[in-house]
Amino acid sequence: MYRFSKSLPALAGLLVVSILLIGSVAAQNSAAQSQAKPQVEGVWKVAEVLMPPQNPAEKATSITDPQPGLIIFTKGYYSLMAVRARQPRATFAPAKDPANLTDAEKTARYEQWSPFTANSGTYEVKGSLLQMHPIVAKNVEVMTSATPITWELKVEAPNTLWLIPPSDRATTDPRVKFTRLE
């Protein structure tokens, strides 16, 4: 008993050091995980769209009241749905015979569906580049392309980010500003 009681302070000291060491490792691991979490994770809505000019002498057109659009980023996955139009999509009357649409009814449905975009898949952030790899998409070409969809990612603030097209798409694709919903 005497020996045990004399080694008790040393054992207690070893226990304290062990607890501090474990706590330090856990805190470092937690900090590393929070730093590794991409800043894009969350739910974002389209807040502004900068359309490239059709004539190089003109300035980009800013649309500050864009049509609805959402992008959701989770751990390695994304889902995007947006209306790519300047005006709200038109509504139309129900078809008289849904199994046999008239040409006018087909055109109305095409015009309503055409500006809508949707795709979901995986993503990765490499530096300031966002690479999206669609798994499923409204447009089959988007879904089956081996080339990822690439954007420059600019995080302005914790609740604001921009997706900027790379130089090969800068004259055709808009710059899109998103604000965080969650």
Q: What is the DSSP string of 43-105?
A: EEEEEEEEEPPSSTTSPPEEESSPPPEEEEE-SSEEEEEEE-SSSPPPP-PPPSSTTS--HHH
The answer to whether residue 158 is domain-embedded is yes
**Residues 10 and 20 reside in one and the same domain:** yes
Q: Examine the pLDDT at 34 and tell me if it is beyond 70.
A: no
**Residue 150 in domain:** yes
In a domain, 94, yes or no: no
- Asked if residue 93 is part of any domain, the answer here is no
pTM of the model: 0.74
Q: Which is more confidently placed, 21 or 24? A: 24
Range of the domain at 29: 1-36
Answer yes or no: do 18 and 70 share one domain.
no
What is the per-residue pLDDT for 140?
95
Distance CA 181, CA 83 (A): 18
CATH of residue 166? 2.40.128.280
Domain count within the chain: 2
Counting beta carbons within 10 angstroms of the beta carbon of residue 112, is it exposed (0 to 12), middle (13 to 18) or buried (19 or more)?
middle
pLDDT, average across residues 34-51: 82
- pLDDT tens per residue, range 91-112: 888 999 999 999 999 999 999 9
Residues 4 and 67 in one domain: no
